[in-house]
Amino acid sequence: MGLLEGKTALVFGVANKRSIAWGITEAFLREGATVGISYAAEALEKRVFPLAEENGIDFVDKCDVTSDEQIAETFARAKERFGTIDILVHAVAFGPKDDLGGRFRDVSRDGFKLALDITAYSLIPMAKHAAEMMPNGGSIMALSYYAAEKVLPRYNVMAIAKAALENCVRYLAVDLGPEGIRVNAISPGPMKTLAGAAIGGGRKTFRHAESNAPLRQNATLECIGGTAVYLASDHGACTTGEIIVVDGGYHVLG
Ligand code: NAD
């Protein structure tokens, strides 16, 4: 019997088969969960729909998380389809290209607002809607990155947004804990995804982490999926407010 048998998950942030959201979806399906997925925009449908179809996913919903209305509508449709859910995955981030790279002092006000809005704030209304569908408790998880803690080249506005996201995770963990809802983040090392490619010099960062991490490997979709299964399952029942790093051990290096 799978670790997530009888559980239902809603996963935001699928863009293509390399997306961390998709890696987590596949791991959840392997463990017996029912999964609904969400994507940001029409342009992604040609990649997202076939993935869903091939894997028997019948809830595939468009949601731009900058819109409170769209978030509310997606959760309303999910409620209609599933009734209740047990797991929410927030694998969504965005930072304008001009504010990723260059001098940090040049980060724009509009870029800052947008990056914080999509990457960090959106977790709050999503967690609120999800909690209303979690009468028996549940597990919410977001995706962060090491740049939330340490200064890394080019991450600029995204680093600030991830720091805010990690604190949203802790505040939500305290707010939702009494209802039996756990809130955590997974912080993977660099991955070759669309979001990863948006940061200039991504390939160099990827190779450097791979050759220096204690395990001499970067995170894989399977490793991240496995951590997500742990957090979503009853094995993670006493873990909340945590940032779990999945990076081959890179972050312990001085
Ligand atoms: P990805 O590009 O596949 O996923 C990012 C997703 O965010 C996409 O599906 C995109 O459509 C979605 N998104 C952007 N703006 C949105 C909006 N307004 N509304 C709804 N969705 C929106 O890349 P990924 O690497 O799988 O990223 C998933 C998460 O993992 C992100 O939070 C990212 O910061 C995080 N992460 C990535 C890496 C990496 O190296 N790739 C490392 C650590 C953490």
Work out which ligand 1 atom sits closest to the CA atom of 190. Answer: 40
Task: Give catalytic residues, as residue numbers.
Answer: 145, 155
φ/ψ region of 171 (left if φ > 0, alpha if ψ in -120 to 50, else beta) reads: alpha
Q: Using alpha carbons, select from 196, 246, 216, 240 the residue that is nearest to residue 27.
A: 246
* Residues 40 and 46: beta-carbon distance below 8 Å: no
Work out which ligand 1 atom sits closest to the CA atom of 23. Answer: 26
Nearest alpha carbon, ligand 1 atom 19:
64
Banded model confidence at residue 49, pLDDT cuts 50, 70, 90: very high
Q: pLDDT tens-digit profile of 131-146?
A: 999 999 999 999 999 9
Q: pLDDT tens-digit profile of 201-231?
A: 888 999 999 999 999 999 999 999 999 999 9
> Cβ of 41: how many Cβ atoms within 10 Å?
11
Instruction: Please give the pLDDT value at position 203.
Output: 87
* Residues 161 and 103: beta-carbon distance below 8 Å: no
Q: What is the average pLDDT across 119-138?
A: 98
CA of 231 to the centre of ligand 1 (A): 19
CA of 252 to the centre of ligand 1 (A): 24
Nearest alpha carbon, ligand 1 atom 13:
92
Select from 45, 46, 123, 143 the residue to mutate for testing ligand 1; criterion: most ligand atoms less than 8 Å from CB: 143
- pLDDT higher for 87 or 201? 87
Instruction: Please give the pLDDT value at position 26.
Output: 98
Q: Which residues line ligand 1 (CB under 6 A)?
A: 13-15, 19-21, 40, 63-66, 91-94, 118, 143, 145, 188, 190-191, 193-196
φ/ψ region of 180 (left if φ > 0, alpha if ψ in -120 to 50, else beta) reads: left
Residues 6 or more apart whose Cβ sits within 8 Å of residue 88: 9, 10, 12, 126, 127, 130, 138, 139, 140, 141
Work out which ligand 1 atom sits closest to the CA atom of 194. Answer: 2
CA of 1 to the centre of ligand 1 (A): 31
